[in-house]
Amino acid sequence: MKVVSPPSLEASAQDDSADELQAVILAAGYGRRMRPLSDRCHKALLPMSGTTILGRIMDSLGHIGVRRVTVVTGYRADDVEKFLRSGYPHVDLRIVHNDKYRETNNIVSLSLAFDSMTFDTDVLLIECDLLFDRSLLTRLVGRPGENVALIDRFRTGMDGTVVEVADGFVTNVYPTDTQGADFSYTEKFKTLNIYRFGREFSTRILGPLLHTYANIIDPSCYYELVLGMLTNIAAHRITAELVAGERWAEVDDPNDLAVASFQFEPERRSDILNRAFGGHWNFDMVDFSLMRNAYFPTGAMLAAMRQALPELISSYGSSQSVLNEKLGFFLQCEPERLQVLHGASQAFPILGRAFAGSSITIPTATFGEFPRHFPHAVPYVDAPGVDWGELERSAQDFQIVVIVNPNTSTGTTLDSSDIYALARATPGTLFWVDESFLAFSDQPSLVEMLQKEPLDNVLVLISLSKCLGSPGLRLGYVYSCQAGLIETIGAELPVWNLSAPAEYLLELLLKFTPDYESSLEKTAHDRATLRDELAVLPFVADVPQSGGNFLLVQLVGDAARLADDVRSWLLERHSIDVKDVSARFPDQSPRLRIAVRRSDENRRLVEVLRGFPSALVEAQPR
């Protein structure tokens, strides 16, 4: 590691004019968290949006006129230097090598850079694993104040240094190693690791402090420690510039790379989400594609779970009999007729084996697990709308009749009393009724009816994740008065079937039942409002009534491509996702399924859809 004394203020200026900016890029790190991608490629040279991460940084610096750049190298230094010198021959490039990059931290790299520099201009500091809109640098340069840090509100998925802000200034800095078990991220902001430092500050204050810490006190610490020491000294305060909608991403690991691709390659968003099938907390988007109760759990419930989480994640869940008992208290039914599930989908492989070879009929355009596990099932039409008379006539021809109420794609909702009456009149047929969305309708559950007047030929399946707004906890159950069927399912469940956090939610339900019922009412109200507003859009043909917390939106024409165009336009232009369900229907006409979210989000969706280009509708093939 090269160590030199910090330059004096009187150091002679080089050829650069005093009114220019210069930049420092820290690119020495090994990128351990990026392995295995970084084993053969420096993480700053990973491809992104037609170039590389480092290339985007250099292009952004060039956009604001920065022509002098000091780059600190370490890992794969030759690759980094070759890329820069071949791609940016007109940049005044200064390479500083940190040969102890493996055993030191970024304070050494920054100290080496500052030791080598002449501070005749302000300095931009950028770490090499950042992707950002170049407009952020324009704002950074134009912000009043000698020293400025770019910050953003802390969100799930972020990590690294966070700060507190008061009166527009950074007041406290918290590097990762100071964020203990009791650390609260409330009212904290994430630093982007992009700063502007004034020339006087860099020369007289920051440079000497970095040099002292890197060479004498602790080369294993982070430069943020030094910045934190200076935040409460009025003469050296750092102004906080809050990101206001601009895109940025810190790419520390392969997961971050996928998130960055979503942000900076909008044309790939559909493919990324289709492949992920979930995990949407990673993506900065509003999700109208996956359905959940937007008003539940309540803030008080989340606070209780947050308080209990350290103990919960270090604990095993209870036995299946205890889980069934806890759910039975909430449902007010006999626990012997229940099996709590790790999500309703857990039942499908079990029932697929139990019902192998049985004749079965399922509705068209429904939850994908049904056709997946019963590929030879005979479909009956939900277009939307079911011909109930035809279903009554044909029910006795099958060993199993599947009714999804409300249906997952269409929202079609049948009278529970009619289903019960058909099951009672057809004792030789098992009625498998999926009520995962029934709580949002005006219909009672069959569980209530079966508690009063049991039938052995009804199996009720419910995904609680939808109505409880907690799909991440994976909760569901099956209910049947047929003891043998319940025992068959229970025999295939593992000893610990639920995580402790999921079980704790079951306990909290008893305390928050009124809030749960209120959340269902709010959702039903919002659904009606959203339906009215969607129905009058010029490219919408119909929005059928729905009993779920979602709406089927039938678009004009018969070209399925229109649904894909609407979805892609929403994702690329507005980071909003909806579900294209056109392929689920036999005629494959353009259809979207839109989840009901909170009222303000619903209004925003409608407002955005009003701007959908009419030219894209007119261009559809007839």
Count of domains observed in the chain? 3
Say whether both 373 and 459 belong to one domain: yes
Q: What is the pLDDT of residue 33?
A: 75
Mean pLDDT in residue range 518-526: 97
Q: What is the pLDDT of residue 621?
A: 61
Determine, yes or no, domain membership for 261.
Answer: no
Q: What is the pLDDT of residue 443?
A: 97
Say whether both 304 and 434 belong to one domain: yes
The CATH number of the domain holding residue 539 is: 3.90.1150.10
Q: What is the pLDDT of residue 490?
A: 95
Q: What is the pLDDT of residue 573?
A: 92
Q: Does pLDDT of 19 surpass 80?
A: no
Q: What is the pLDDT of residue 622?
A: 55
Determine, yes or no, domain membership for 545.
Answer: yes
Between 354 and 220, name the one with better pLDDT. Answer: 354
Say whether both 480 and 525 belong to one domain: no
Determine, yes or no, domain membership for 271.
Answer: no
Say whether both 525 and 483 belong to one domain: no
* pLDDT band, residue 412 (cuts 50/70/90): very high
Q: Does pLDDT of 55 surpass 70?
A: yes
* pLDDT band, residue 4 (cuts 50/70/90): very low
* Residue recorded with tokens 């904290």: 188
Q: Does pLDDT of 10 surpass 60?
A: no
Determine, yes or no, domain membership for 284.
Answer: no
Q: Does pLDDT of 311 surpass 70?
A: yes
Q: What is the pLDDT of residue 2?
A: 40
Q: Are 133 and 263 in contact (CB under 8 A)?
A: no
Q: Does pLDDT of 5 surpass 50?
A: no
Cα→Cα distances 89→24, 84, 94, 95, 117, Å = 17, 8, 12, 13, 20
Q: What is the pLDDT of residue 259?
A: 80
pTM of the model: 0.82
Say whether both 560 and 506 belong to one domain: no
The CATH number of the domain holding residue 61 is: 3.90.550.10
Q: What is the pLDDT of residue 18?
A: 35
Determine, yes or no, domain membership for 116.
Answer: yes
Say whether both 358 and 486 belong to one domain: yes
Within a 10 A sphere around the Cβ of 470, how many other Cβ atoms? 20
Q: Does pLDDT of 96 surpass 90?
A: yes
Separation of first and last alpha carbons in the chain: 69
Mean pLDDT in residue range 308-313: 92
Q: Does pLDDT of 34 surpass 80?
A: no
* Beta strand residue intervals within 392-457, DSSP E: 400-404, 430-434
Mean pLDDT in residue range 2-30: 57
Q: Does pLDDT of 7 surpass 50?
A: no
- What is the residue range of 553's domain? 521-618
Q: Does pLDDT of 127 surpass 50?
A: yes
Say whether both 326 and 449 belong to one domain: yes
Say whether both 173 and 30 belong to one domain: yes
Give the ranges where 344-444 is alpha helix by DSSP (H): 347-354, 369-373, 388-394, 416-425
Within a 10 A sphere around the Cβ of 234, how many other Cβ atoms? 6
* C-alpha R_g of the chain: 30
257-280 pLDDT tens trace: 778 888 888 888 888 887 776 767
437-495 pLDDT tens trace: 999 999 999 999 999 999 999 999 999 988 999 999 999 999 999 999 999 999 999 99
Say whether both 500 and 526 belong to one domain: no
The CATH number of the domain holding residue 454 is: 3.40.640.10
- How much of the chain is in helix, strand and coil states, percent to nearest 5? 45, 20, 40
Say whether both 451 and 534 belong to one domain: no
Tell me the C-alpha distance between 223 and 214, whole Å: 9
Say whether both 315 and 371 belong to one domain: yes
Cα→Cα distances 211→108, 173, 177, Å = 8, 20, 21
* pLDDT band, residue 17 (cuts 50/70/90): very low
Last residue in a domain, options 222, 256, 290: 256
> 137-146, 176-185, 253-262, 369-378 — which one is most confidently predicted on average?
369-378
Tell me the C-alpha distance between 407 and 385, whole Å: 10
